[in-house]
């Protein structure tokens, strides 16, 4: 078994990054001008890395499959971004952010990486404000903070419910500035279809121009994958329709290990599926659990309308099971509890796969508060309700409107129906401290890598990580590799490895087009999604996983013999793009099940039904599973496990309890 | 809220930018009122694939109203009959059984059609590249709280920054003008002290680029504001005009 | 001066020219309408003729008349330039346009309303400006007031004038507030007031002007 070298610098935890940053090799400005970097993906990680590296003088090429870099799915993040600024004077510190993140990740992340993340978090806020990101402010003109799940301090910076949008547009504007100055060449509507390696090092990519279908070869001294997560393996998720694993999977096949692929985050408050036509799921911000109460009927298969069910016949199951935290338990716990109730036959709505998130009590509570504030004597019930609704509208109005838009129901009048949905993937390409994968010169940033969130990500930490990687980590750590590349001239893309890679890509596309089967791509994607959701979703079991692996392998065969792709290979062809992505998802899904099967414990987003406590809580096995599972691709359906032991030198591992 | 619709769709089909397009008529039936407009097109597309036809190409990605990629001109209005929503958030309960729905791409010489309902909106990226930024390199920032900003200004800047760059303003405008888009960015940055430093030059550069891209002038009809899924205000255009003229008339 | 040409030839600059000339014409209309409204004093045109006499011979007014024509021509020329340029921006028209859903018809029809106004204006100038400035027919016994009485005996002329005034009203209804917006004067506190003043101005000017031929035709004033 090869030993994975995470290249974590020596020294005490708090000094590692500072010391390393000051000793990492530098590249002089003249040399930077002749070093080329290919960046795939233009979300928070990609755009921030591209802008920062171009500012340093590197020649950068950026690729995105969307029509503009501003469309990347980072834009959909709602809640906020964490930073250990301690502006609230409530005892926050770098160490606390570090500690909360490790604990929130159920003790399955790397200490050094997480500490670095906490260290640079403050600079991210500074940078974004300087770019003109309009964060929420107090009347005094200073930045406002709110609290988020899994922490006891207020460290979340936000811009209404559109924080991801504002941060991405900030990074995008920096990127466009470099595009305008000619330092970045932007390739939109381009999809990366392979990594080109020469003598074991990543040297470029093969990309397809979606509009013309032309395959292009692009050289880079280094290649950065900032391609996000793979939640769409489940078909239904809160990811964008185009979010995919293709770039990471191609890298995997060229030697990059994938770490902890089974760690997926299922977000508890999403709008439930309304029918077979459903194409994606929409998240309702976690903040709604601050005031809403979650319940199901006490009676099985209760068909009454929510408002007809009397109080004593309602089961507020989170408050019942977790009296200490109630409706505010962490995401993984809330999600599992909802699934348990629905599986037991207590679900609500037409599909019976939903629970109620009820604001009636909050409306009355706020209404009474308003009545007291205005010194109203004996206000009527209607008056209280009207005042309460006004308060709720001010706090959550945009979310309520969105709910109404999608479901056609008025959440001020009837309880919202919610159900968990796939939201984020903690697993990803294995990277060392420099964010380099196991292929020299190939890096992974943001959600595409595995490094910081362990088995469960805390709210408002994804934006922090993406920007940390792009603005403040990669500009330094890439020097460790590129300093030794200054003698490598830009390579011709006519060399054999480029030609061979392009040929391979072309043949694969032609094979797909020539299957001329009977079923559209969506048919296979939906079936894969169902297998993954049922057996590798919120609860996993040995039996189910083993059966799923076989099912997925059969589905792979069926796909490659029966998929039907219309249109032409040399024109805009969304079905062909989808087919390529689903083909990769089919292979990734198999690996996720293999990884889930290997991990004989429950931790964070990974819940194995065999490993739970008597009252149904996750049961971790620190003795045998405190490692990162990094998988190497050997051949179709064969993956080799490499373990990176996780050493906790600064934190004492403890059991999580929310009772 | 439950129910199924039978609809007649007239959809613009155009193979690529080089050939002329035309409308094709399709019948769809059994459309659930819970579907989004794009899911209804998905249903049509899967049927077309099964029948051996080329599905309708359209831009879409997040399907939650924030990425700005979806862009359909439905029954004479960008993003369809409802105000304040994108096409992906438009649901079929807004339509009646038996209705005929005409779907066209955004029409503007600056947004050439790529295929069917897909248009090229790179012009917007170039307008931003011309000046829609604060010239600050990574690492140059001072502490975030060293510069207090009145809440009112921050809120106004946010309201302008909420633009999703979908291009509905251009599609709605009788002149295919991009002033609402351009002014939203100029406004956002002009309202904040960190962006005020280069506000005039920014306005000049972005307006010049906007004109070069082939967008029309503004007739102040207010159609852009009314159709903007994010409710970006016409006030931004007035602010852009102020920034532009105060810069061109006063700079040395 | 290259900067000025650049600024005024931009899409914003062209609009600025429309706004400034438009506001200038609006101020002229105020004077014109105010003076003409003296016919409603029903003094047989005494006050009106006195005013007309002053306007015809005061050197400042005569100079302003040239400026006025300049402004009007610039407004027309710039409007045409904008209309031609804007027309090219959407080479393929929409099959269905639901304009009423997002804007007022008259705000979308300023070019059309302006063209109607131009046609009306030619008729109007031929009737009165040509008569008073370019012919020698204006005498003590045949005043401009008498000429109005004569011209407005024809129901067709009256109809043309009323239609012209309606076009003017709608043109002003949009143009007044639009000019402020173009000049950058949009503020949540003041804009509603500007819009109200604009609406009142447009209605009063159009109604007063329209009332004149009607009043003559029906012999409501002597």
CATH number, residue B144 = 1.10.1060.10
Query: Does A240 contact B53 at a Cβ distance shorter than 8 Å?
Result: no
Domain, as residue range, for A116: 30-265+423-482
3-class state of residue B26 by DSSP? strand
Write the pLDDT tens digit of every residue in C123-182.
999 999 998 888 888 888 889 999 999 999 999 999 999 999 999 999 999 999 999 999
Among chain C residues, CA nearest to B241:
C184
Q: Which of B120, B134, B161 sits opposite A130 (nearest CB)?
A: B134
Q: What percent of chain A has pLDDT over 90?
A: 87
pLDDT at A326: 85
Parallel, antiparallel, or unpaired: how do β-strands A638-645 and A355-358 relate? Answer: unpaired
Can you name the CATH fold of C2-86+106-217?
3 helical TM bundles of succinate and fumarate reductases (1.20.1300)
Residue C13 has pLDDT above 70, yes or no: yes
Query: Does A130 contact B140 at a Cβ distance shorter than 8 Å?
Result: yes
Establish if A8 belongs to a structural domain.
no
pLDDT at A329: 80
Cβ atoms of residues A450 and A432 within 8 Å: no
| Beta-sheet strands, E only, within A398-483 | 416-425, 428-429, 442-444
**Chain B residues in contact with C12 (beta carbon < 8 A):** 207, 217-218, 240-241, 244-245
Domain boundary among A390, A420, A450: A420
**What's the token pair of residue A437?**
């994968």
Active site residues of A: 331
Do A401 and A547 fall into the same domain? no
Angle at A522 between CA A519 and CA A526, to 5 degrees: 110
Do B174 and B201 fall into the same domain? yes
Cα(B247)–Cα(B31) distance, rounded to whole angstroms? 54
- Backbone φ and ψ of A346, nearest 5°: -105, 10
Parallel, antiparallel, or unpaired: how do β-strands A59-63 and A184-187 relate? Answer: parallel
Per-domain residue ranges of chain C: 2-86+106-217
pLDDT at A621: 96
Cβ atoms of residues A143 and A136 within 8 Å: yes
**Chain A residues in contact with B49 (beta carbon < 8 A):** 520, 564, 566, 575
Establish if A658 belongs to a structural domain.
no
Do B13 and B104 fall into the same domain? yes
Do A512 and A568 fall into the same domain? yes
Supply the CATH number for residue B110's domain.
3.10.20.30
ipTM computed for the complex: 0.97
**Rounded alpha-carbon distances, angstroms, from residue A362 to A289, A318, A394, B166:** 11, 16, 13, 36
- DSSP assignment letter at A424: E
Domain boundary among B115, B150, B167: B115
Write the pLDDT tens digit of every residue in A618-652.
899 999 999 999 999 999 999 999 999 999 999 99
User: Dihedral sign, CA of C2, C5, C11, C15?
Assistant: positive
Write the pLDDT tens digit of every residue in A417-446.
999 999 999 999 999 999 999 999 999 999
pLDDT at B2: 53
Whether chain B has a CB inside 8 Å of the CB on C183: the answer is: yes
Interface with chain B: mutation pick from A45, A54, A57, A71, highest number of B CBs within 10 Å:
A71
Q: Chains A, B: CB contacts under 8 A, how many?
A: 228
Establish if A489 belongs to a structural domain.
no
Interface with chain A: mutation pick from B58, B64, B157, highest number of A CBs within 10 Å:
B64
Considering only residues 61 to 90 of chain B, which have any Cβ-Cβ distance to chain A shorter than 8 Å?
Answer: 61-69, 85, 89
In which region does residue A349 sit, left (phi positive, over 0), alpha (psi from -120 to 50) or beta (all else)? left
**Chain B residues in contact with C183 (beta carbon < 8 A):** 241
**Chain A residues in contact with B121 (beta carbon < 8 A):** 67-68
Domain boundary among B95, B115, B135: B115
Supply the CATH number for residue A379's domain.
3.90.700.10
**Beta-bridge mates of residue B78:** B73
Cβ atoms of residues A67 and A572 within 8 Å: no
Domain boundary among A384, A401, A420: A420
pLDDT at B1: 41
Interface with chain B: mutation pick from A131, A229, A417, highest number of B CBs within 10 Å:
A131
Among chain A residues, CA nearest to B156:
A134
A402-416 exposure pattern, b = at least 16 Cβ within 10 A, e = fewer: bbebbbbbebbebbb
Do A462 and A611 fall into the same domain? no
Supply the CATH number for residue A610's domain.
1.20.58.100
* pLDDT averaged over 10-residue windows placed end to end, chain A, 659 residues: 84 96 95 97 98 98 98 94 96 96 94 98 98 95 85 88 95 98 98 98 98 98 98 97 98 98 95 91 85 94 93 95 84 90 93 94 93 91 94 83 90 95 97 98 98 92 97 98 96 97 98 97 97 96 98 98 97 97 98 98 95 90 97 97 95 81
Neighbours of chain B (3+ CB pairs under 8 A): A, C
How many domains, in total, are found in chain A?
3
Do A53 and A186 fall into the same domain? yes
Do A448 and A587 fall into the same domain? no
Do B160 and B92 fall into the same domain? no
pLDDT at B22: 97
Cβ atoms of residues A124 and B141 within 8 Å: no
Domain, as residue range, for B19: 4-115
Angle at C216 between CA C215 and CA C222, to 5 degrees: 100
Do A145 and A225 fall into the same domain? yes
Among chain B residues, CA nearest to C188:
B235
**Beta-bridge mates of residue A291:** none
Domain boundary among B115, B147, B167: B115
- DSSP assignment letter at A286: G
**For chain A, how long is the longest CA-to-CA vector?**
85
pLDDT at C105: 97
Whether chain A has a CB inside 8 Å of the CB on B114: the answer is: yes
CB atoms within 10 A of CB C126: 11
Cα(A5)–Cα(A365) distance, rounded to whole angstroms? 55
Query: Does B192 contact A242 at a Cβ distance shorter than 8 Å?
Result: no
Q: How far apart are the first and last CA of chain A?
A: 41
Do A116 and A140 fall into the same domain? yes
Query: Does C186 contact B81 at a Cβ distance shorter than 8 Å?
Result: no
Write the pLDDT tens digit of every residue in A127-178.
999 999 999 999 999 999 987 777 788 999 999 889 999 999 999 999 999 9
Query: Does A574 contact B69 at a Cβ distance shorter than 8 Å?
Result: no
Cβ atoms of residues A549 and A594 within 8 Å: yes
Establish if A190 belongs to a structural domain.
yes
Q: Write the DSSP string, chain C.
A: -HHHHHHHHSHHHHHHHHHHHHHHHHHHHHHHHHHHGGGGG-STTHHHHHHHHHHHH-HHHHHHHHHHHHHHHHHHHHHHHHHHHHHTT-SS--S---GGGTS-HHHHTHHHHHHHHHHHHHHHIIIIIIIIII-S---SSS-HHHHHHHHTT-HHHHHHHHHHHHHHHHHHHHHHHHHHHHTT---TTTHHHHHHHHHHHHHHHHHHHHHHHHHHHTT---
**Rounded alpha-carbon distances, angstroms, from residue C98 to A626, B176, C165:** 62, 15, 27
Establish if A3 belongs to a structural domain.
no
Cα(C46)–Cα(C43) distance, rounded to whole angstroms? 6
> Mean pLDDT throughout B234-252?
95
Residue A527: CB partners within 8 Å, gap ≥ 6? A555
Query: Does A75 contact B141 at a Cβ distance shorter than 8 Å?
Result: no
Touching status, chains C and B (3+ beta-carbon pairs under 8 Å):
yes
Do A509 and A463 fall into the same domain? no
Cβ atoms of residues B217 and C82 within 8 Å: yes
Among chain B residues, CA nearest to A179:
B129
Do A46 and A195 fall into the same domain? yes
CB atoms within 10 A of CB B47: 14
Cα(B170)–Cα(B173) distance, rounded to whole angstroms? 5
**Beta-bridge mates of residue A640:** A632
Residue B67 has pLDDT above 80, yes or no: yes
Query: Does B109 contact C91 at a Cβ distance shorter than 8 Å?
Result: yes
Do B181 and B228 fall into the same domain? yes
Do A231 and A335 fall into the same domain? no
Cβ atoms of residues B191 and B124 within 8 Å: no
Minimal CA–CA distance to A149: which of A464, A606, A461?
Answer: A461
Supply the CATH number for residue A213's domain.
3.50.50.60
- Backbone φ and ψ of C7, nearest 5°: -65, -45
């Amino acid at each position: 078994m090869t030993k994975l070298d995470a290249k974590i610098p020596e020294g005490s935890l708090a000094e590692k990054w500072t010391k390393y940053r000051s000793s990492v090799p530098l590249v002089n400005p003249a040399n930077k001008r002749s070093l080329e970097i290919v960046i795939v993906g233009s979300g928070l990680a990609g755009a921030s890395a591209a802008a920062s590296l171009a500012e340093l003088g590197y020649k950068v090429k950026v690729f995105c499959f969307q029509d503009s870099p501003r469309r990347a799915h980072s834009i959909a993040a709602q809640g906020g971004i964490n930073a250990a600024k301690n502006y609230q004077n409530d005892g926050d510190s770098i160490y606390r952010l570090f500690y909360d993140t490790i604990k929130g990740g159920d003790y399955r992340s790397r200490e050094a990486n997480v500490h670095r993340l906490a260290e640079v978090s403050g600079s991210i806020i500074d940078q974004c404000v300087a770019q003109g990101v309009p964060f929420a402010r107090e009347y005094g003109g200073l930045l406002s903070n709110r609290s988020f799940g899994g922490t006891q301090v207020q460290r979340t910076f936000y811009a209404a419910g559109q924080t991801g949008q504002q941060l991405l547009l900030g990074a995008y504007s920096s990127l466009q500035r470099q595009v305008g100055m000619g330092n970045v060449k932007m390739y939109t509507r381009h999809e990366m279809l392979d990594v080109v390696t020469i003598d074991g090092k990543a040297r470029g990519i093969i990309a397809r121009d979606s509009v013309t279908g032309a395959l292009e070869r692009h050289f880079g001294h280094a290649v950065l994958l900032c391609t996000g997560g793979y939640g769409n393996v489940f078909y239904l998720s809160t990811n964008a329709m185009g979010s995919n694993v293709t770039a990471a999977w191609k890298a995997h096949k060229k030697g990059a290990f994938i770490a902890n692929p089974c760690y997926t985050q299922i977000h508890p408050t999403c709008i439930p599926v309304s029918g077979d036509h459903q194409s994606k799921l929409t998240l309702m911000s976690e903040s709604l659990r601050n005031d809403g109460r979650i319940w199901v009927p006490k009676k099985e298969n209760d068909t009454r309308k929510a408002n007809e069910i009397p109080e004593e016949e309602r089961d507020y199951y989170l408050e019942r099971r977790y009296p200490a935290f109630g409706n505010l338990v962490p995401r993984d716990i809330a999600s599992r509890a909802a699934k348990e109730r629905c599986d037991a036959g207590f679900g609500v709505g037409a599909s019976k796969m939903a629970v109620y998130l009820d604001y009636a009590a909050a409306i009355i509570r706020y209404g009474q508060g308003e009545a007291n504030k205005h010194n109203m004597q004996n206000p009527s019930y209607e008056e209280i309700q009207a005042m309460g609704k006004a308060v709720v509208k001010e706090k959550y109005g945009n979310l309520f409107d969105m709910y109404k838009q999608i479901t056609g129901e008025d959440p001020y009048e009837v309880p919202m129906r919610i159900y968990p949905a796939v939201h984020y993937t903690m697993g990803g390409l294995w990277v060392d401290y420099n964010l380099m994968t196991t292929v020299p010169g190939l890096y992974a940033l943001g959600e595409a890598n595995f490094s910081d969130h362990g088995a469960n990500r805390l709210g408002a930490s994804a934006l922090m990580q993406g920007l940390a990687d792009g603005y403040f980590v990669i500009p330094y750590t890439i020097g460790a590799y590129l300093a030794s590349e200054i003698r490598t001239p830009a390579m011709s893309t006519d060399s054999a490895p480029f030609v061979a890679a392009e040929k391979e890509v072309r043949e694969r596309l032609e094979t797909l087009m020539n299957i001329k089967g009977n079923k559209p791509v969506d048919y296979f994607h939906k079936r894969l999604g169902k297998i993954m959701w049922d057996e590798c979703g919120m609860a996993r079991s040995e039996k189910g996983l083993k059966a799923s692996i076989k099912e997925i392998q059969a589905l792979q065969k069926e796909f490659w013999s029966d998929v039907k792709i219309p249109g032409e290979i040399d024109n805009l062809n969304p079905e062909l793009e989808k087919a390529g992505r689903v083909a990769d998802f089919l292979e990734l899904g198999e690996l996720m099940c293999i990884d889930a099967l290997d991990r004989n414990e429950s931790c964070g987003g990974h819940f194995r039904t065999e490993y739970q406590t008597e009252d149904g809580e996750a049961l971790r096995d620190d003795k045998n599973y405190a490692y990162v599972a990094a998988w190497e691709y050997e051949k179709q359906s064969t993956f080799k496990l490499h373990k990176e032991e996780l050493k906790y030198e600064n934190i004492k591992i403890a059991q999580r309890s929310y009772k | 809220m439950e129910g199924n619709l039978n609809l007649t769709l007239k959809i613009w089909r155009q193979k690529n930018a080089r050939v002329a397009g035309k409308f094709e008529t399709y019948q769809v039936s059994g459309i659930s009122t819970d579907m989004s407009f794009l899911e209804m097109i998905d249903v049509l597309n899967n049927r077309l694939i099964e029948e051996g036809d080329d599905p309708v190409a359209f831009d879409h990605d997040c399907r939650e109203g924030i990425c700005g990629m979806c862009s359909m001109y439905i029954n004479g209005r960008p993003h369809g009959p409802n105000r304040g929503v994108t096409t992906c958030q438009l649901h079929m309960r807004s339509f009646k059984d038996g209705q005929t729905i005409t779907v066209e791409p955004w029409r503007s010489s600056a947004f050439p059609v790529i295929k069917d309902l897909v248009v090229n909106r790179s012009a917007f990226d170039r307008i931003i590249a011309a000046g829609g930024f604060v010239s600050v390199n990574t690492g140059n920032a001072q502490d975030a709280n060293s510069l207090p900003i009145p809440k009112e200004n921050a809120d106004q800047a946010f309201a302008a920054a909420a633009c999703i760059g979908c291009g509905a303003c251009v599609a709605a405008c009788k002149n295919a003008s991009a002033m609402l888009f351009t002014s939203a960015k100029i406004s956002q940055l002009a309202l904040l002290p960190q962006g005020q430093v280069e506000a005039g030059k920014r306005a000049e550069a972005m307006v010049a680029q906007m004109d070069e891209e082939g967008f029309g002038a503004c007739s102040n009809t207010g159609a852009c504001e009314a159709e903007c899924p994010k409710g970006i205000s016409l006030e931004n255009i007035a602010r852009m005009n102020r920034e532009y003229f105060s810069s061109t008339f006063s700079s040395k | 001066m290259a900067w000025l040409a650049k600024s005024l030839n931009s899409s914003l600059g062209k609009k600025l020219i429309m706004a400034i000339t438009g506001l200038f014409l609006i101020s002229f209309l105020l004077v014109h309408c105010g003076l003409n409204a003296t016919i409603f004093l029903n003094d047989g045109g005494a006050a009106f003729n006195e005013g007309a006499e002053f306007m015809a011979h005061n050197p400042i007014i005569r100079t302003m008349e040239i400026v006025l024509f300049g402004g009007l021509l610039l407004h027309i020329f710039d409007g045409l330039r904008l209309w031609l340029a804007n027309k090219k921006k959407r080479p393929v028209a929409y099959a269905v346009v639901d304009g009423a859903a997002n804007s007022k018809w008259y705000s979308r029809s300023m070019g059309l309303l302006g063209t109607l106004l131009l046609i009306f204006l030619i008729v109007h100038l031929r009737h009165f400006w040509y008569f008073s400035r370019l012919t020698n027919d204006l005498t003590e016994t045949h005043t401009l007031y008498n000429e109005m009485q004569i011209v407005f005996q024809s129901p067709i002329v009256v109809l043309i004038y009323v239609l012209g005034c309606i076009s003017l009203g709608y043109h002003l209804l949009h143009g007044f507030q639009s000019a402020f917006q173009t000049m950058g004067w949009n503020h949540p506190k003041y804009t509603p007031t500007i819009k109200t003043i604009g609406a009142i101005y447009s209605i009063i000017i159009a109604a007063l002007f329209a009332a004149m031929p009607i009043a003559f035709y029906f012999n409501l004033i002597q």
